[in-house]
Amino acid sequence: MAERTVFQSIPKRHVLSLGPQASVWEAACAMTRVNCGSILVMEPPDKLLGIVTERDLMTRVVAKALEPKQTPLAQVMTSQLRVVPPETPVSDALVLMLEHGFRHLPIVGPDRKVLGVFSIRDALPFELGTAMSQAEFNEQMNDALG
C-alpha cells in the first residue's frame, strides 16, 4: 500500500487566512470558530506571507502581555516558512516538522497556490488506526493462546 501524501491526509481543504494587518484577536476568533490550530497570513489574491499558530499566540502574544485587539498578525507571524508540495509523503513531512520544531506545514501547488495546511495531528488518524489494529490483533492472539 502506498504511503499517504500530505494532501490526502488533511481533512479540511479550505484555507483559513487573514491579511497581515488583521489583529491577533481576529485570528484567534477565526481559529476558534472553525476549530483550527493555525491561520495563514496572506495578501490578496494569494501571496503567502506567514503563519500564526496556537503556540505563537501563547508564546508571542500572551507570554509577552501584548494586547490582542491591537497587535497585527504581521508582528507575531512566522515569516520564514517551509512549505511542501501536495505529493509529499506524510513521513517526509513529519521528519521535516520534527527536525525544525513546528507542527503546521502549508501545502503549496506548483503554481504557488496554497492548497491547505498539514498539521502533525493529520498524521495521527491513520497511524492510530494501525496501532489499534495491532492492539486488537495482539489481544486476539493472547486470547487464542490462553
- Specify the CATH number for the domain of residue 81: 3.10.580.10
Asked if residue 1 belongs to a domain, the reply is no
With contact defined as beta carbons under 8 Å apart, do 38 and 51 qualify? yes
Quick: pLDDT tens for 89-103: 998 998 898 899 899
Q: Determine the average pLDDT of the residues in 111-139.
A: 75
Asked if residue 40 belongs to a domain, the reply is yes
Which helix (H) or strand (E) element contains residue 107? strand 104-108
Where do the H-state alpha helices sit in 37-112? 54-56, 73-76, 90-100
Domain count, the chain: 1
Place of cell 489481544: 139
Asked if residue 55 belongs to a domain, the reply is yes
More confident residue, 95 or 74: 74
Asked if residue 105 belongs to a domain, the reply is yes
3-class secondary structure, 88: coil
Domain residues for 25?
A: 6-145
Amino acid at 3: E
Q: How far is CA 66 from the centre of its chain?
A: 24
pTM of the model: 0.82
Which residues in 2-61 belong to E strands, given as ranges? 17-18, 38-43, 47-53
Band (pLDDT 50/70/90 cuts) for residue 71 is: very high
Does position 131 have pLDDT exceeding 60, yes or no? no
Asked if residue 49 belongs to a domain, the reply is yes
Quick: pLDDT tens for 26-68: 999 999 999 999 999 999 888 999 999 999 999 999 999 999 9
Place of cell 497587535: 71
- What is the C-alpha to C-alpha distance for residues 141 and 49, in angstroms, rounded to an integer? 53
